[in-house]
Amino acid sequence: MTLDSHQILALAPDSASAKAGSQLATPRNWSNLGRSDAALWGECQGSGKTPYRTQIDLGGPAFKCTCPSRKFPCKHGLGLYLLRASEPTLFGQIDEPAWVSDWLQGRQVRQEKKAERAAPDASPEAAAAAAAQARKREDKREDKVSAGLMELQTWLHDLAREGLASVRSHGQAFWDAIAARMADAQAAPVARRLRRAGSMLYQSGLRNAEGLVAHELASLYLLTQAWQRIDQLEPALQADVRTLLGWTMSQDEVLRQSAVADTWRVLAQTTFDDDRLRVRSTWLHGAATGRWALHLQYAVGTQGFEQQLAPGTVFDGDLCFYPGAWPLRVQIQRQDDPRPLSAIAAPSDFDALLDTHANALAAQPFLERHPVLLGGLVPDSADHGIVRDAQGRRIALHPAFRHPLHLLALSGGHPLTVCGEWDGRTLLPLSVWQDGRLYNIDSDFLT
Amino acid sequence: MNDADRQLRQLLKIGTARAGRAPAGLAGPLAALLPADAAPPEAVLWLSLGALDLWERSGFVATDRPAPAPAHAAAPEMPRPCPPRAQAVLALLLRGLHPAGLEAEWLCQLHQHGGQLPAHFLPKLLDAATRQPNLRAPLLPVLGERGHWLAHLQPEWSWAAAGADADAALWDTGTPEQRVAALRNWRMRDPRAASAALSTAWSSEPPEQRAALLAVLGTGLGPDDEAFLEAALDDRRKEVRAVAQRLLARLPGSRLAQRMQDRLLPLLRVEKPLLRPAHIELALPAACDAAMRRDGIGIAPRYGLGEKAGWIVDMLAAIDPQTWTRHFDRTPRACLALAEHSEFATVLVRGWALAVQHHAANAPSPGLRAWLRDLTTWWVDAKPALRDAVPDSLFDVVAAHFAQDEDGASSALFDALSGRWIGDGFQMRLLVRLAAGTQQAWPASLSRRALQRLQTALPVLPDAGHPWLVRQMLSGLALVLDPATAAASEADLRAAWQPDGEWSRAVDEFFDLVRLRHEMTLSFQEPA
């Protein structure tokens, strides 16, 4: 498959690369262009004497270039791909030169190795010793977390006694202190949530900040309770609690889980900054299973994301779910034949959403976001903070949603199908499906 | 349950210590979840809050309040689809990766294509055109039903919420600025109805707003407006009178123009002395009477001219320049030659230039186009003192009509450029101005002529010339030349000139932009 220029630019690590890439997408800069079923390649005359060799594995897509840039993909890769999109005739179907086929083979080998690595291999004694070591480390960590959460519980009791109103005057430092304590206790996600809760209090223009903080802290309190009684929980829910407290599972470990094969539709994608990381969160929906899957990727600085999932495409693949009581997060084990999306599942109505959400919370009460494909929504032309369902019921939009006018523009007062996240009170629209096209709000609704 | 949640949050806000009470028990099945023993009130508070939150989130009940009126929806329409490649180009432009100005051209091409703006671009472009009013003209024709419908929903976009109803409503109740805008829209749609509305409201309009409202008649100005404007010449406010004078002076065949002509003709005659070139002899008027002042003579000082000479300029500016080609029975170029040798050369040139500027502003006749062309080509190699007599604003009018080159008037300018024009600041500034002021792409023949001059001039670019102006001209031309012609000229130009460093980058940028525009044009020719 080749992506369209918009999707290609979405791969750029930053806007400077996007600009440089689109300027390189002219035939003048390129020589020895070619393509095969698997790849695109060309040579780009840079400032040096020898031209850079740029190649793209269309399956990923994955990029490689001989230029010294540390950005990934680099401007040459983007330029080559954009040129292919704008002037496909320049690329003749020819045999891959050695420098292309070598790279493609290398990738193949590495991927096979990766699959091998996923299989456990060790002698029984070594494995036993490693397990004992791990058990010891694990015990130590559990003790740390237990101590930390006891402290958090005491802190929350004090806060309830003193009152949120008087705590407010202590400033952000008050929240940072307990967050730092949680970080020491190796409960990083708890630390992050506390810091964010504190900052919500001091954020101007946030409606009902105290209510939000109250609910967030109460949820953390429930988490401390859940940890104290973790042995009584279902194993799947235990995994959720441990994830929420900062235990992570390595990618290889996840990939060893049994995979779910389906045709996966890439329905929505957002990219945002979290501290120094850039996070790309993508919702996938299985055509046959109807299952939702959340794919998260992280990148530092100007690095690009490893796996390319363009919203509005569909691929055949195997996904491995992280264990949990209501599994959503996945790693991709296999991704084949990505192509433009031509159809989506029949959207659900609001009542069906409420039912599935209740089931989800019953299974995993700490669930924060619940994906949904809702049909028949009409954005309200008077109150931009709500949409109405087919029965005229008001559904509030998430306070962070910034594109009510884009929704109105696409709907024109007529019903829309929206893919979004429901948190139990508000809907955060992430994409819109209309007239056979997916509009991903984060990338297609320009502001 | 909502009430219980509020009470709990209230308790959390003041704190259990200050409130002096434990949280009230939860109702129904939730009560059974909480520890029965004597847990500290703080623990009960947190657990109750958490349980209630989950309870509410898993049992959300939508407030069942149907929309007050049946929701008003945009009328369905089936516009010609906008090709996906063109959409991709617009998305690129809107990311701000390319110089501004291309959006307007894209919108014009969409209009020519017969399409309408895809809905998901509407908010961004309405916002952009709210900030940059010059985008509004190309945007309005491609908004479609959907765009007008959307513009009603956002107060800042009211300028695009066209439709007779919206304008009439704004005219009745809007702020002064909105009323002016509404009247202008109305005037574009239906000049007579708009001027009728203005004359009905005129007597009750606050005097300080009359001038701005009257100026709206400049849109779609026609003989029907003369009576009203003539009456406004006697208004008590100077600003209103000035607007009326200005508009009447632009109105072909107005009584004001006739009065000016009657005053001026006796003062002018052509003198043909032996052995010397023919020239215009001008007698200055003795005094400026009340009737002359009523018509706008001597109201504003003309800088650099004597008082009486200024009166002459005021009179000339109000007379259709075609009067002179008829009166002297000469081409505009020959008229300018007559003026050049006159004692009052600056006065005559200034007056004619102003007259051309006023009369040729909208859809000039062939006679006026001849004046525009001759004045510009004459200016190119006129004496510096006389060049200064031509106001710069004339060239905005030239630029506005520069793309219409059926009669070759625009190409003639490139023939008139002197040999070393690229080193001449005046001529360079003129070209920069022409390129910046053009709204449409130049036709192929004109572009070819411009590129030919460029190709021969650039290689001899003197380093001591005006590099900044040349850069400006190149980037200006890249935006207006016919993209196909310009893209095709790349090989020739690069063969003729291989500069290094700064200039090489300038040429690269020039052709990058030209190619982008070429690509944009092609993108509309793709089947959707």
For residue A295, the domain's CATH number is 2.40.50
Residue of B nearest to A407 (CA): B120
Residue A122 placed within a domain: no
Q: Is residue B312 a contact partner of residue B284, using CB atoms and an 8 Å limit?
A: yes
Judged by CB atoms closer than 8 Å, whether chains meet at A86 and B85 is answered as yes
Same domain, residue pair B524 and B440: yes
Q: Is residue B46 a contact partner of residue A218, using CB atoms and an 8 Å limit?
A: yes
State the average pLDDT over residues B159-179: 77
Residues of A in Cβ contact (< 8 Å) with B145: 412
Measure in Å the smallest separation between the Cα of B54 and chain A Cα atoms: 7
For A:243-282, CB contacts with B below 8 A are: none
Residue A124 placed within a domain: no
Nearest to A393 among B62, B92, B122 (CB): B62
* pLDDT over 80 at B161, yes or no: no
Using DSSP's 3-state secondary structure scheme, residue A433 falls into: strand
Angle between helices B238-250 and B255-264 (to 10 degrees): 80
Per-residue pLDDT tens digits for B282-296? 888 888 888 888 888
Residue B87 placed within a domain: no
Residue B110 placed within a domain: no
Same domain, residue pair A18 and A95: yes
Residues of A in Cβ contact (< 8 Å) with B58: 357-358, 361-362, 424
Same domain, residue pair A67 and A16: yes
Number of domains within chain A: 4
Q: Is residue B345 a contact partner of residue B357, using CB atoms and an 8 Å limit?
A: no
Judged by CB atoms closer than 8 Å, whether chains meet at A403 and B120 is answered as no
Q: Is residue A387 a contact partner of residue A379, using CB atoms and an 8 Å limit?
A: yes
A364 Cβ under 8 Å from any chain B Cβ:
no
Question: Which residues of chain A fall below pLDDT 50?
Answer: none
Residue B433 placed within a domain: yes
Same domain, residue pair B236 and B307: no
CA distance linking residue A242 with residue A324, whole number of Å? 10
CA distance linking residue B506 with residue B509, whole number of Å? 5
Residue B372 placed within a domain: yes
Nearest to B62 among A23, A219, A395 (CB): A395
Pairing of strands A437-440, A427-434: antiparallel
Same domain, residue pair A145 and A108: no
State the average pLDDT over residues B130-143: 88
Q: DSSP characters for A191-203? A: HHHHHHHHHHHT-
B90 Cβ under 8 Å from any chain A Cβ:
no
A218 Cβ under 8 Å from any chain B Cβ:
yes
- List beta partners, residue A271: A280
Residues 6+ away with beta carbon under 8 Å from A383: none
The pLDDT, as a whole number, for residue A229 is 92
A271, amino acid identity: T
Residue of B nearest to A369 (CA): B57
Residue A153 placed within a domain: yes
Judged by CB atoms closer than 8 Å, whether chains meet at B13 and A210 is answered as yes
Last residue of a domain, one of A178, A211, A244: A244
Handedness of CA B432, B434, B438, B440 (dihedral sign): negative
Last residue of a domain, one of A217, A244, A271: A244
CA distance linking residue A162 with residue B161, whole number of Å? 54
Nearest to B123 among A165, A393, A409 (CB): A409
Structural domain that includes position B197: 116-248
Same domain, residue pair B351 and B452: no
Measure in Å the smallest separation between the Cα of B116 and chain A Cα atoms: 13
Judged by CB atoms closer than 8 Å, whether chains meet at B46 and A9 is answered as no
Same domain, residue pair A336 and A427: no
Same domain, residue pair B314 and B373: yes
Same domain, residue pair A141 and A236: yes
Same domain, residue pair B417 and B526: yes
Same domain, residue pair B312 and B216: no
Structural Rg of chain B based on CA atoms: 33
B153 Cβ under 8 Å from any chain A Cβ:
yes
Judged by CB atoms closer than 8 Å, whether chains meet at B15 and A365 is answered as no
Pairing of strands A329-340, A292-300: parallel
Judged by CB atoms closer than 8 Å, whether chains meet at B67 and A392 is answered as yes
Q: Is residue B264 a contact partner of residue B315, using CB atoms and an 8 Å limit?
A: yes
Residue of B nearest to A226 (CA): B47
CA distance linking residue A93 with residue A103, whole number of Å? 18
Last residue of a domain, one of B29, B58, B87: B58
Angle between helices B501-525 and B102-113 (to 10 degrees): 20
Same domain, residue pair B301 and B379: yes
Last residue of a domain, one of A340, A364, A387: A340
Residues of B in Cβ contact (< 8 Å) with A244: none
Q: A interface mutation test: which of B12, B18, B507 has the most A CBs within 10 A?
A: B12
Task: Supply B448's token pair.
Answer: 């070819």
* pLDDT over 80 at B371, yes or no: yes
Per-residue pLDDT tens digits for B414-462? 888 877 787 788 888 888 888 888 878 899 999 999 998 888 888 776 5
Judged by CB atoms closer than 8 Å, whether chains meet at B120 and A86 is answered as no
Judged by CB atoms closer than 8 Å, whether chains meet at B42 and A160 is answered as yes
The pLDDT, as a whole number, for residue B383 is 85
Same domain, residue pair A158 and A74: no
Same domain, residue pair A136 and A239: yes
Tell me the average pLDDT of chain B: 85
CA distance linking residue B34 with residue A221, whole number of Å? 13
The pLDDT, as a whole number, for residue A398 is 92
Distance from first CA to last CA of chain B, Å, rounded? 54
CA distance linking residue B247 with residue B161, whole number of Å? 28
Same domain, residue pair B129 and B240: yes
Same domain, residue pair A165 and A233: yes
Measure in Å the smallest separation between the Cα of B13 and chain A Cα atoms: 4
State the average pLDDT over residues B144-154: 88
Same domain, residue pair B358 and B449: no
A225 Cβ under 8 Å from any chain B Cβ:
yes
Residue A282 placed within a domain: yes
Nearest to B119 among A86, A394, A409 (CB): A409
Nearest to A412 among B65, B66, B149 (CB): B149
Residue A123 placed within a domain: no
Q: Which of B406, B403, B402, B416 is nearest to B374 (CA)?
A: B416
Structural domain that includes position A398: 350-444
Residue B416 placed within a domain: yes
CA distance linking residue B348 with residue B284, whole number of Å? 12
A32: left (phi over 0), alpha (psi -120 to 50) or beta: left
Judged by CB atoms closer than 8 Å, whether chains meet at A424 and B14 is answered as no
Q: Is residue A231 a contact partner of residue A402, using CB atoms and an 8 Å limit?
A: no
Same domain, residue pair A11 and A99: yes
Residue B322 placed within a domain: yes
The pLDDT, as a whole number, for residue A321 is 95
State the average pLDDT over residues B51-78: 76
Residue A127 placed within a domain: no
Distances in Å between the Cα of B469 and the Cα atoms of B430, B461, B465, B498 are 10, 12, 9, 19
Residues of B in Cβ contact (< 8 Å) with A18: 95, 97
Per-residue pLDDT tens digits for A380-403? 888 889 999 888 889 999 988 999
Residue B88 placed within a domain: no
Same domain, residue pair A102 and A201: no
Using DSSP's 3-state secondary structure scheme, residue A124 falls into: helix
Residue A392 placed within a domain: yes
Residues of A in Cβ contact (< 8 Å) with B510: none
Same domain, residue pair A201 and A271: no
State the average pLDDT over residues B458-483: 81
Residue B345 placed within a domain: yes
Q: Which of A70, A68, A88, A108 is nearest to A25 (CA)?
A: A88
Per-residue pLDDT tens digits for B491-525? 888 888 887 777 888 888 888 889 889 988 988 88
Same domain, residue pair B368 and B410: no
Residue of A nearest to B92 (CA): A6
Using DSSP's 3-state secondary structure scheme, residue B420 falls into: coil
Task: Supply B236's token pair.
Answer: 């008590």
Q: A-B interface: how many C-beta pairs under 8 angstroms?
A: 170
B50 Cβ under 8 Å from any chain A Cβ:
yes
B71 Cβ under 8 Å from any chain A Cβ:
yes
CA distance linking residue B470 with residue B429, whole number of Å? 9
Nearest to A413 among B9, B18, B71 (CB): B71
B91 Cβ under 8 Å from any chain A Cβ:
yes
Same domain, residue pair B410 and B365: no
Residue of B nearest to A8 (CA): B88
Residue of B nearest to A21 (CA): B97
For B:499-528, CB contacts with A below 8 A are: 512, 515, 519
B39 Cβ under 8 Å from any chain A Cβ:
no
Number of domains within chain B: 4
Same domain, residue pair B383 and B408: no
Task: Supply B280's token pair.
Answer: 């215009």
Residues of B in Cβ contact (< 8 Å) with A447: 123-124
